[in-house]
Structure 1
Amino acid sequence: MFNLSSLPELTPEDLLTYQEAIKEELQKIIPAQKFTLFFPAAKPDYLSKQDIFIEKNKIHLAINYSQKFLGVITLHNYTKRRVRGLKTALPTILQLILQHISIYKKFFFNEQLHIYTSNYIDFFLQETIRDILLGLNPKENNFSSNYFSVSLLAINPLLKEYPLKTQKFLLQEIIGLVQTNFSPWPLALLSGQKLCLLLTNLNSSKGSSLLTHLWSKLHQHNFSHPVLKNKLKLNFGVSLVTFPKDFDSQELLLNNTEIIPLFKEKLDLALEKSLQFKEPFSFDKILKLGGRIKEVNCEEITIDIGKESKVQDGYIFTVLNKDKINPKEKGKIIIKEVGQKQSKAKVIVNLEPIYKIKKGDRLKLTSQSDSKFYLDYKNTILEEARKILESYGQVKLALFQVKSEKISHKDSLDLLEEEIQKITSPLFITSNETQIIAALYQESNKELKEKLLKLEQEFYKQHQITFYVGVGHLPLPPFHLSDLYRNAEKALIHSRYYEERPHLAFFDSISLTISGDRMFSLGNYFDALSEYQKALYLDAKNILALNSLGISYAKTGNLPRAKETFLEVLKIEPGNELARYNLGRILEQLGQEKEAELVFLQCKTPLYRGFSLLRLGKKAEKQKDFKKARDYYLQAKELLPNYSQPHTLLASLYLKKEEMEKAKEELHQALLKNSLDALALNLLATIYLKNKENLSLAESLAQKSISLKPEIPEFWKTLREILAAQHKEKELAFLVN
């Protein structure tokens, strides 16, 4: 049980954050059509004598907590038959709701250190990753997406050599230093004394810049003993991990809750490397420049990075000496066996006796054209495939991968290989360190499918072990023998999309569409284009591939081709609303505004019709036709009851017309539907600034909007104006810099 006196105080910012929870709890007691939240500078006269005021269609509740007035809740068009007897009970019920929020805040916020807890990190990652995963899928038109990336920037201060009181003092000083220099991003306690900043929507260069800046600030700061005042030299690990950039295509198939522990593992690994090399480390730097020689045994080398750092068979590393300023090359090694945390390699270039490869030498990843699998292994398969193709006129390559782990992976692979030979009689079979079995066949697709289904059924019946199998073949030109392995890989990935047994897929148009989607999700839009084009070569009526092709053309700036593609989708499937909406957006970008308007108005379903009306409203607003814009926004609000955008755009319009109260009410409704609507937060901050009321709340709102969308200059401008209005010269100077 919580000691109620130990619960944290609540602020207007907390009420905004948890307003949806407050609304839900009050709705259980007294249903109302609308819920609004206001923060007047002082308690209104009508609530001066009591904390509830009931009108014909409204109930006003004063929000008091810990003897402080925080704001007012108004319930509009409430259910009147439920009011009797609640006049005295509602303020008490509200107090209980606020108490629960305070308990929730204690769970998420460390009052002692004035930073967020690790529970908040998990919550933050869960919400942002889910949002990003939706946005990465070209099949989704995720209108409410707030993010394209999320990063954790971690700090591990080594304080254990100092007494406990000194550790606490130094940790507080580090927190203060980070909060001063890295406002407005939230700071949280990761674990122990590890801290991390929660960052969103940073591109690679900005992330790298912040990582270097944090390292510099920590190492340039003069830390001193709290009592003796002598200078202390502190050591830090500083690391950065970004989603989705630092996650491979397989990891992107996981759901948001499965990704979180993986995120933290990557962060710890990068922190470990930062402490080891005494320099800041992003996760992608581990593979490029974060490996070291662990053991040297004649020509066999053990290195200290493995699968968790994305090392793969066939990767080639240059071996460097330990000199950071002027590193000398000692030779080259190639990876031949990959473990989880370390790998085995053999020397392929040795510059001994001039430079002898030693334990502790640093590794630098060498650029290589094909290092996914050990080259000899892959070439052997393709050579055998060539012979089969010449003899039989056709060849199939099946790749098998065990899913179940009821027994050791190696044992299950051995069992599977025996059964493959016995039941399917391949012309050639082999396996490698990547735990994939490859088998070559000459049968037709139909004959091979029958054999593979029989294998799957009997193997599962006998051993209760599930496996994936992808079959690659060469459908027609433009596929060549060199594509056989890649086609089998794509089919293997395709097989993982089947939720039920058997997990069997033959390479086809859908395999290529899935491959294109994976490339699209990683930002490789030109590669995705190529995959969608090949998918359409195999099936010209693959609507999924055709729609994604149009989106990829748009992403790569080829708007005329995007337009043609969406028109082609609508020719095949006239009712495809996603293609129609996307066509409207492309026409807008091409400057064909009348045509775009006609297309938008043809959208029928509430979702696409609603967002089409929002775009038309923006156009009308740009043309200063505020009445028309307002009408479009109001129609969109009816069609999109669960989205914040209509409220936010209406508020922006009201703000331009100086109708502050209307704007404020719409913004509260927007934040009730989406507390992470960055524009709504910024506009609400602007209103409080213009009214010169509750500037601390305005500052908090502006900071939150920047933490969500740091790439928008207007948000930073708002924060600067709020700081200037409060005469916060120190923070303002930092922000300007």
Structure 2
Amino acid sequence: MNKDSLFEDNVTLSRQDLIYYEHALKDAVSEFLPYESYSLYFPKPTGDTSSSLKAKYLRDSRELMLPLVLRGAELGYFIARGVDIESPESTGFYLQALASAALEKLLLYKSSITDSLTGLLTREQFLKKVVKELDLIQNCLMPAPGGCKDPGIPTFSGSLGVILVDLDNFQRINDRYGFQFGNSIISRVAAKLRELAPHPVICSRYLDDKFALMLPDGRPRTCADLAERLREAVESIPVSDDVTGDIIKISASVGYANYPQSLSGAHFKTSAYEQSRIIMRKAEKAVSTAKDMGRNQVFAYSDILKKGGKVLEVLPLQRLALSIGHSVDAREGSRFLVWAPEFHSGYQGRITEDERISGSYPTMYKAEVVLIEVQNDVAFAEILHLSDPAWPVVSGDRLTLLEEKNSFFDTQAGPESGKSPQKDMVTGLYSYRDFIGRYSRLRQNEDLFSIAVFRLSGSPGEQGGNFQKFNDALVQKVASRAETFFPENVTGGRYSLNSLIYYFPSTESDNVMGLALRLVRECAEDFAIDLSSGVAGYPFLNFSRSEVLDNCRKALDHAMMLAEPKVAQFDSVSLNISADRLYVDGDIYAAVEEFKAALLADPDNILARNSLGICYAQIGRPEQAARMFEEVLDITPNNIMALYNLGWACHMIGEMDKARCSYEKCLELDPDNVFSLVRLGLLAEHDSDFEKAKEYYLRASVLKGGDSLTMRHLARLAYNAGEADKTREYLHLALNANHNDAASMNLLARLYLDNGEDPQVAEVLARQSSALKPGNNRYWKTLSDALEAQGKIEEAAEVLSRLAG
């Protein structure tokens, strides 16, 4: 429970609530009391539950000190200025009663969004907060590939983290000790979560014994650290039953997902509401994986594919059903090692007195498998290699993602090795295992070759009935048609249950593209089969022979984004798509290399050049970024994306005139470009042309997303002009648009201090801004000033010691 709360139950109003709801409170008071300006004042609490505050009217200054009293508890004063009251003695009581009614209204609202047992937000309100957060993120994205926002305009964060904490085996506690005892544990866990969660984090009771936390600006590392602290905290809570004397051990499985890292592809085209549900489902998947892996541990959604899968069922023909699917970004062709759970940890040896043991040995694996069919929540795999035929794979065995270069599979398994190749019974082509073996061997002797993958676009849900039988019939038709015109020296294989792969020796990828287009079109016309194809060749740039298959997969991803016919050759655009995915995943340096490769393949790739410039700016190379944007404009002079980004880069390196010119050209092409308007306002402020700056900000404020971008700037202008009331109004609008706006919180704190108003309010606001942006020295200085104004000299000195060097 918040230490400022004035009631014993979990749903109450605190002084911090009054600051948070200040905008609503001042509107409620204005309905029964006209005033010119106002402020809040919080006297030191006396501990007396009986109300002693009375309304006081100062006729000379026209100020009314209106007590804020709720159910006998004194919260503070609402000081209304510019008030004319004829009979303050008789009207003061009624005004105080109306103010209490306004507080009751605020309490009723807070009760509607608060879980009565824990004092945390309800599930419904939490989901609304996530939607609002994502909507703010979307409104503040730059018009650029990868969804990069402009870091030079301090707006809403482009990241979000969601953590779910699910108590382990909690139903057993309820069944054995009763629900009242269980509720006491839930209440204690909630208090611990609220204690550990820093200010910007929003906590809720998501379901019965499941809690959800939202971290604005929550990067994966931040979420991982907080999730582990929460898990440890739950485990450390001492619980005992007074009746039986039992000591009860409680624990929690914790999972988290991040925006934008946990979303991909079409997810980014959906609304904020849909994205909120997607991110919650992914966090729930992470929690369920943590439980599957043994409970009382933390799992990230991004780790499920890498180390969170397991074998569901062993099928005939050396096939397996696995617990991973499209929902965790599994793809056909991915390889995994299979482990027995009891042998999942390696043993670190040590030297004994007689020196009999030294070194370490790796964990024991059972098999290597490859995915041959991926559905939404399950996948089917084929065993490529068994470490020991006497140690079979069984249900419950674990999976670890394996890079092809680290494969244990014998890639020399072809006809020359003496092993009998296996043919697919449906198509007559090689099985995946034997195709990969032959391909790996044959490619070593070729200076020129290409491969093509063909994939059926249907899904099991679309077909109904016996999907595999239906799928086999379609694949057989595709293979038969390919046989009629593919060269005789081509080697074909069953790449997955719904895919075929072909190796074309001594053939350029352009020629294979022609064959792929013909096969896709004929299958569509003659069989009504929706087929996609990716083609890649060697040599291409500096890619090695072993990378061609991965390039082909990237080309297939590219093809599946196209209109009919869905055929793509691995090229600059494929590299663009791959680089954008790396950028969204937060691997900017890898994205840089991929964008560079895209430009090597096609120097006129405007998107790649612009995106590379954005990456350079993100990693602190604005001069290189500016050159990239200038090169884009040499090709397309009216490219508004490049114009804005050039202005942004020039702004970063101090070339203000050049930046202004770029922003103004953006407005010529798009008069409603909100980012350019804000940037021009900042440049006008830099030149001390405050009226011009205000004009730009006001124009931007009425556009979509403009309120969250401009209100703090308008507040700053009003503050510098000495317009305290206008500053306050703009700051409340800024915080209403973005409740984590640290700059607005800090300025509001300064406003309270500079006007000689309550320093306690300033302290609360300054603490919040410092927690959001701990690297900003100005925010710590404001907090120090607020503490010093209250006579807390030692505390103020301690805060000053935190200033960054």
TM over 0.5: yes
Q: CA 1:598–1:255 in 2, change beyond 3 Å: closer, same or farther?
A: closer
**Per-residue deviation at 1:268?**
3.4
1:642-661 aligned at under 5 Å gives the runs 642=703, 643=706, 644-655=708-719, 659-661=723-725
**Per-residue deviation at 1:610?**
0.9
Q: Distance in 2 between matches of 1:475 and 1:330?
A: 36
- Which residue is 1:369 aligned to? 405
**Per-residue deviation at 1:672?**
5.0
**Per-residue deviation at 1:566?**
1.2
Aligned to 2:463, which of 407, 410, 426? 407
Secondary structure class of the residue paired with 1:680: helix
Q: Distance in 1 between matches of 2:299 and 2:738?
A: 31
Q: Distance in 2 between matches of 1:106 and 1:468?
A: 55
- Which residue is 1:641 aligned to? 702
- Which residue is 1:687 aligned to? 751
Q: CA 1:64–1:497 in 2, change beyond 3 Å: closer, same or farther?
A: farther
- Which residue is 2:424 aligned to? none
Does 2:161 correspond to 1:151? yes
**Per-residue deviation at 1:698?**
6.0
- Which residue is 1:623 aligned to? none
RCO comparison, higher one (Cα < 8 Å, 6+):
1
- Which residue is 1:115 aligned to? 120
Secondary structure class of the residue paired with 2:364: strand
Secondary structure class of the residue paired with 1:548: helix
- Which residue is 1:79 aligned to? none
Secondary structure class of the residue paired with 1:189: strand
Percent identity over the alignment is 22
- Give the conservation status (yes or no) of the 8 Å contact 1:37–1:668: no
- Give the conservation status (yes or no) of the 8 Å contact 2:629–2:643: yes
Secondary structure class of the residue paired with 2:463: coil
Q: Distance in 2 between matches of 1:648 and 1:106?
A: 30
- Which residue is 1:244 aligned to? 260
Aligned to 1:449, which of 504, 517, 523? 517
Deviations 1:124-144, CA, capped at 9 Å, x for gaps: 333434555674973356458
Q: Distance in 1 between matches of 2:107 and 2:294?
A: 43
Aligned to 2:210, which of 170, 194, 198? 194
- Which residue is 1:525 aligned to? 588
Q: Distance in 1 between matches of 2:279 and 2:451?
A: 38
Deviations 1:358-396, CA, capped at 9 Å, x for gaps: 987876666663779997849837966998999999856
- Which residue is 1:164 aligned to? 179
> What letter corresponds to residue 163 of structure 1 in structure 2?
G
- Which residue is 1:28 aligned to? none
> What letter corresponds to residue 333 of structure 1 in structure 2?
A
Secondary structure class of the residue paired with 1:234: coil
Q: Distance in 2 between matches of 1:458 and 1:163?
A: 67
- Give the conservation status (yes or no) of the 8 Å contact 2:385–2:409: no
Aligned to 1:497, which of 561, 582, 588? 561
- Which residue is 1:632 aligned to? 693
Q: Distance in 2 between matches of 1:723 and 1:236?
A: 39
Q: CA 1:494–1:302 in 2, change beyond 3 Å: closer, same or farther?
A: closer
Q: Distance in 2 between matches of 1:732 and 1:412?
A: 74
Aligned to 2:364, which of 327, 330, 333? 330
> What letter corresponds to residue 146 of structure 1 in structure 2?
F
Q: Distance in 2 between matches of 1:301 and 1:417?
A: 19
Aligned to 1:563, which of 626, 649, 656? 626
Q: How many residues align?
A: 678
Q: Distance in 1 between matches of 2:135 and 2:720?
A: 34
Secondary structure class of the residue paired with 2:524: helix
- Which residue is 2:638 aligned to? 575
- Which residue is 1:316 aligned to? 337
Does 2:647 correspond to 1:611? no
Q: Distance in 2 between matches of 1:724 and 1:360?
A: 61
Gaps of 5+ in 1: 1-7, 26-35, 49-61, 75-93, 621-626
Q: CA 1:459–1:583 in 2, change beyond 3 Å: closer, same or farther?
A: same
**Per-residue deviation at 1:263?**
3.3
Secondary structure class of the residue paired with 1:528: helix
**Per-residue deviation at 1:580?**
2.4
**Per-residue deviation at 1:548?**
1.5
**Per-residue deviation at 1:322?**
6.1
Deviations 1:97-149, CA, capped at 9 Å, x for gaps: 99999887666432443211222332233343455567497335645862232
- Give the conservation status (yes or no) of the 8 Å contact 1:318–1:366: no
Q: Distance in 1 between matches of 2:23 and 2:531?
A: 44
Deviations 1:176-226, CA, capped at 9 Å, x for gaps: 122122241221112121112211223444333222322232233333447
**Per-residue deviation at 1:173?**
1.5
**Per-residue deviation at 1:164?**
1.0
> What letter corresponds to residue 416 of structure 1 in structure 2?
L
Secondary structure class of the residue paired with 2:284: helix
Q: CA 1:364–1:528 in 2, change beyond 3 Å: closer, same or farther?
A: closer
1:715-734 aligned at under 5 Å gives the runs none
Q: Distance in 2 between matches of 1:406 and 1:45?
A: 73
Q: CA 1:680–1:416 in 2, change beyond 3 Å: closer, same or farther?
A: farther
- Which residue is 1:511 aligned to? 574
- Give the conservation status (yes or no) of the 8 Å contact 2:40–2:76: no
Aligned to 2:232, which of 207, 216, 225? 216
> TM-score, structure 2 length as denominator?
0.66
Secondary structure class of the residue paired with 1:277: coil
Q: CA 1:690–1:560 in 2, change beyond 3 Å: closer, same or farther?
A: closer
Q: Distance in 1 between matches of 2:497 and 2:533?
A: 15
Q: CA 1:279–1:447 in 2, change beyond 3 Å: closer, same or farther?
A: closer
> What letter corresponds to residue 679 of structure 1 in structure 2?
A
- Give the conservation status (yes or no) of the 8 Å contact 2:613–2:629: yes
Q: CA 1:437–1:96 in 2, change beyond 3 Å: closer, same or farther?
A: farther
User: Which one has a bigger Cα radius of gyration?
Assistant: 2
- Give the conservation status (yes or no) of the 8 Å contact 2:305–2:328: yes
Deviations 1:292-345, CA, capped at 9 Å, x for gaps: 788899997979753356666422356674697957733453124577468768
Q: CA 1:292–1:529 in 2, change beyond 3 Å: closer, same or farther?
A: closer
Q: Distance in 1 between matches of 2:568 and 2:310?
A: 40
> What letter corresponds to residue 636 of structure 1 in structure 2?
Y
- Which residue is 1:664 aligned to? 728
Secondary structure class of the residue paired with 1:198: strand
- Which residue is 1:138 aligned to? 144
- Which residue is 2:49 aligned to? none
Secondary structure class of the residue paired with 1:116: coil
The worse-fitting range, judged by mean Cα deviation, of 598-607 and 659-668 is 598-607
**Per-residue deviation at 1:661?**
2.5
Q: Distance in 2 between matches of 1:706 and 1:593?
A: 30
Q: Distance in 1 between matches of 2:747 and 2:320?
A: 57
- Which residue is 1:31 aligned to? none
> What letter corresponds to residue 570 of structure 1 in structure 2?
L
Q: CA 1:298–1:347 in 2, change beyond 3 Å: closer, same or farther?
A: farther
Deviations 1:628-647, CA, capped at 9 Å, x for gaps: 35642443332443313333
**Per-residue deviation at 1:712?**
5.6
Q: CA 1:120–1:391 in 2, change beyond 3 Å: closer, same or farther?
A: same
Aligned to 2:297, which of 250, 272, 280? 280
Q: Distance in 2 between matches of 1:572 and 1:382?
A: 46
Gaps of 5+ in 2: 1-10, 29-35, 43-53, 60-66, 82-98, 349-360, 412-430
- Give the conservation status (yes or no) of the 8 Å contact 2:448–2:538: no
**Per-residue deviation at 1:648?**
0.6
The worse-fitting range, judged by mean Cα deviation, of 608-617 and 704-713 is 704-713
Q: CA 1:677–1:378 in 2, change beyond 3 Å: closer, same or farther?
A: farther
**Per-residue deviation at 1:163?**
1.0
Q: Distance in 2 between matches of 1:426 and 1:44?
A: 94
- Give the conservation status (yes or no) of the 8 Å contact 1:331–1:347: no
**Per-residue deviation at 1:165?**
1.0
